[in-house]
Amino acid sequence: MSENYQHDSDKWLMSGGIPWGKFDDFGDSLAGTITEEPEVRHSRDYDSGEPAYWPDGNPQTELVIVLQTTQRDPEVEDDDGRRQFVVNSGAKKAALRDAVRTAKVGGLSVGGTLPVTYTHDAEPKKRGYRGAKQFKAVYTPPAPREVPVDGPPRRPEAVRGDQPLPYDDPPF
């Protein structure tokens, strides 16, 4: 099966090594500002590291959101606080979808803030198993950019020079 991926060369060159946000205990949170466009990517099998597929052959996917946080791991040299929030479960997706709907926006944007908290475990589906982790998320979109009341800015005089450009003023 051939898969086509479109890569941004700068992102590819500078990527790698962003730690995942961890949700080990009830109350664990990951909060920060979205620094890159969220990306859907092919999930990997947890044990083998190979691309994961559903029984029908379709690829399993996950949403990766990079957040600038205040978290720092003293054991990681040059930890800049960026963390990946990987949405790879129904509970994470539901929490994120609810947060976006509550914010009354159509999706996530760079500059928006996103705190996510591990709140509890669901009831186990099988005896002797642990229930799925449940999450609460709150999304705040970035502030809208201000647009000048008189329209978009004109080219600065320093760029135009002393002479007007032929299309600046109509000939009539």
CB 142 within 8 A of CB 110: yes
pTM of the model: 0.73
Cα–chain center distance at 155: 34
Q: How many domains does the chain have?
A: 1
- What is the structure's pLDDT at 160? 47
Q: Is residue 64 a part of any domain in this protein?
A: yes
Write down the pLDDT at residue 2: 38
Is 11 within the bounds of a domain? no
The CATH number of residue 61's host domain is 2.40.50
Q: Which pLDDT tens digits describe the chain residue by residue (172 residues)?
A: 434 444 566 665 555 678 888 898 999 999 999 999 999 999 988 899 899 999 999 999 999 999 999 999 888 888 899 999 999 888 999 999 999 999 999 999 999 999 999 999 999 888 888 889 999 999 999 988 765 666 665 555 544 455 554 444 445 4
**Residue 1 included in any domain:** no
pLDDT of residue 142: 94
Three-state helix/strand/coil letters over 99-115: HHHHCCCCCCCCCCEEE
CB 141, CB 109: distance < 8 Å: yes
- Quick check: is 26 in a domain? yes
For residue 137, which of 172, 85, 88 has the smallest C-alpha distance? 85
| Buried-state track 103-141, b at ≥16 Cβ within 10 A, e below 16 | beeeebeeebebbbbbbeeeeeeeeeeeeebbbebebeb
Asked whether residue 162 is domain-assigned, the answer is no
**Nearest alpha-carbon partner for 139 in 118, 117, 108, 94:** 108
- The parent domain of residue 110 ranges over 19-144
